[in-house]
């Protein structure tokens, strides 16, 4: 196989904020799934982001956004990061990158959908292409269980629920597995996009 025929390795960054550690567990799961699918992955804490990490985001093929859901939306720290992306919006620096998202809340619903929609709109304003979860809902029949993938029945991204009086170790294993699935899906989609762009060139 010639060097030009070697499939490119997708570069994925997971840009997230975690207030109490639960969302960090999901970020690590997304990373693990994407690595399992052959991607190079970087975890970036948006409340501690450096100029070097901004450059890393600029060079990524896909960016996965993650935040806890506080009061029906992403955390304040993530909103600050989102506003800071306006410099990328102005130059269209992230146009045609892939985007995806994940979130955690204490309640089964917790209005997590609004957080994922916020991520999706942010991605759209930046000219990015959204990657959804790509899973049927679990735990919605008499034969299902809370251990099903996508047990909360969310389509836009990976959603998790963790009791407010429990720590990161209590993040539900099915939610962790769902986040891993999202990471693999983003990596596989990024690989397809890279192959198509190479072919088009």
pTM to 2 decimals?
Answer: 0.96
Please, which pLDDT band fits residue 6 given cuts at 50, 70 and 90?
low
CA distance 21 to 37: 25
Q: Integer distance in angstroms from the first to the last C-alpha of the chain?
A: 19
Which one, of 169, 168, 177, 79, lies nearest residue 133 by Cα? 177
Which one, of 17, 156, 114, 24, lies nearest residue 75 by Cα? 17
Q: Is the predicted pLDDT of residue 31 greater than 70, yes or no?
A: yes
Q: Pseudo-torsion of CA 114, 120, 126, 128, nearest 10°?
A: 170
Q: Pseudo-torsion of CA 117, 120, 125, 126, nearest 10°?
A: 150
Question: Can you give the pLDDT at residue 2?
Answer: 47
pLDDT, one tens digit per residue, over 62-118 is: 999 999 999 999 999 999 999 999 999 999 999 999 999 999 999 999 999 999 999
Q: Is the predicted pLDDT of residue 200 greater than 90, yes or no?
A: no
Q: What string of DSSP letters covers 1-55?
A: --GGGSPPPPEEEEEE--SSSHHHHHHHHHHHHHHHTT-EEEEEEGGG--HHHHH
Question: Can you give the pLDDT at residue 157?
Answer: 98
């Amino acid at each position: 196989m010639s060097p030009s025929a070697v499939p490119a390795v997708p570069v994925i960054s997971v840009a997230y904020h975690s207030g109490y550690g639960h969302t960090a567990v999901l970020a690590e799961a997304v990373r693990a799934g994407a690595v399992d699918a052959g991607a190079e992955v970087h975890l970036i804490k948006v409340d501690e982001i450096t100029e070097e990490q901004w450059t890393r985001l600029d060079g990524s093929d896909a960016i996965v956004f993650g935040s806890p859901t506080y009061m029906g939306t992403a955390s304040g720290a993530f909103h600050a990061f989102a506003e800071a992306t306006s410099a990328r919006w102005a130059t269209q620096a992230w146009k045609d990158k892939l985007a995806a998202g994940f979130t955690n809340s204490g309640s089964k619903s917790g209005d997590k959908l609004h957080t994922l929609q916020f991520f999706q709109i942010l991605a759209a304003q930046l000219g990015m292409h959204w990657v959804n979860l790509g899973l049927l809902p679990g735990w919605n029949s008499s034969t299902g269980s809370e251990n099903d993938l996508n047990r909360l029945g969310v389509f836009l991204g990976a959603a998790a629920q963790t009791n407010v009086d429990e720590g990161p170790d209590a993040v539900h294993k099915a939610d962790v597995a769902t986040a891993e699935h999202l990471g693999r899906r983003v990596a596989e989609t990024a690989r397809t996009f890279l192959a198509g762009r190479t072919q088009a060139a």
